[in-house]
Amino acid sequence: MAREDVQTGDITQSAAMVGVIATVSVFAIAQGLSYPLLSFILQRQGASPALIGLSAAMTPIGFIVSSPLIPMLARRFGAGRTALTCAALSALTLLLIAWSYSLYAWFPLRFLIGMVTNPLYVLSEVWIIALAPPTRRGRVMGIYSTLISAGFAAGPLCLLLVGTEGWPPFMVGIMAFVLCGTCLAAVLPRLPRVDQAGEHVSVLGFMPRAKLLLVAVVVAAGFEQAILALLPVYGTSFGIAETRMSAILAIMIAGNIAMQVPLGLLAERMGARTVKLLCAGATAIGCALLPLLIETPLVWPFVFLWGAVSYGIYTMAIIELGERFSGAALVAGNATFALMWGVGGLAMPPLAGAGMNALGAGGLPLTLGLACLALGIAGALRRKPA
């Protein structure tokens, strides 16, 4: 009987994990669709690139502002109720964006969608970490990272099917948020009460507990956003066509999607902290090799692996977070990760852009390489996890 109970518990836990991962994957599709959709619409309306970029920045600013509120909301209203409410508000906000169809109305609305989607993302990630068995956490988080990346990549592909005009693309995003809430509601009774377990910690209170982990998140986020924004600009200095640079970015994203599970399995054997440092070092080496390989056929396998190890920094940070924290401290840690992701995404592209202005195209790999190298050296010199 006891053995049957254990098997039933394992099945229940696995079903809950599948449900939460499905929730976040659908959320990623909605988010991945909204960014290019709104940019295309603004471009047709004659908005300048600066205004389009500023409008897009409202969502990560919403992430940053909402992150410190998540532990308090989870404690006061419960993690499940908070996440379901945010799924409903996300669908409603996207509906308002579609209805208003105005550049200036979209500034506060895009800020609001960042505010309401962030708790949904953070709490779902907390549940996945809490549900993952410690001996299999690496592969579970690798699968999670793969599906999140695939979801973000699938968002723009949806636009190929429904176009970028009128209500159809917005309805895809709205229904994705509705489906996200439906998936979550179906598994909610099986999810652990992460909002009540352990000591209550605020985002500011969590920061001193995992300083290097937070630096890793800033570096990973900054690298990803700077590459997406500036690698096409970097390629033009070599006379590389836009279509080729788009293909290079696509292969880099494919490496990110394909390699997170192998990296997760490696983390189960070597430890997430060790693999995180290896990923940081490999990413820094990749920055040094970029100018040498970008015009050669070797660029294709190179960017595939470079995309894998660069995003692997974040995957390893998440695994290490789950190894070191649980309960309410894990909620605070994930909220702090979201805050640091927003900081890295906002800070690194302008910093790398300034490096390119000062040093030419080589300023991009130099800036990003130094950031990854500093992370690797700091982690290697630190004997205890931080």
> Would you state the pLDDT for residue 253?
86
Taking 90 as the threshold, does the pLDDT of residue 283 lie above it?
yes
Taking 90 as the threshold, does the pLDDT of residue 20 lie above it?
no
Of the two residues 243 and 3, the one the predictor is more confident about is: 243
Mean pLDDT value across the chain: 87
The domains of the chain, with CATH numbers, are: 2-190 (1.20.1250.20), 203-381 (1.20.1250.20)
The token pair at 285 is 């080496």
Reported confidence tier of residue 12, pLDDT bands at 50, 70, 90: low
Which of 297, 310, 305, 301 minimizes the C-alpha distance to 365? Answer: 310
The mean per-residue pLDDT over the stretch 79-107 comes to: 90
Reported confidence tier of residue 28, pLDDT bands at 50, 70, 90: confident
Are the CB atoms for 24 and 144 separated by under 8 Å? yes
Which of 352, 56, 59, 55 minimizes the C-alpha distance to 232? Answer: 352
**pTM of the full structure:** 0.85
70 exposed, middle or buried (CB, 10 Å; 0-12, 13-18, 19+)?
A: buried
Taking 60 as the threshold, does the pLDDT of residue 104 lie above it?
yes
Q: What is the pLDDT of residues 154-210, one digit of tens each?
A: 877 788 788 888 888 899 889 988 988 888 888 888 887 776 666 678 888 999 999
- Strands, E assignment, the chain: none
**Percent share of the chain, pLDDT over 70:** 94
Reported confidence tier of residue 151, pLDDT bands at 50, 70, 90: confident
Q: What is the pLDDT of residues 29-53, one digit of tens each?
A: 887 788 778 878 887 888 776 677 7
385 exposed, middle or buried (CB, 10 Å; 0-12, 13-18, 19+)?
A: middle
| Coil, strand or helix at 325 | coil
> Would you state the pLDDT for residue 2?
44
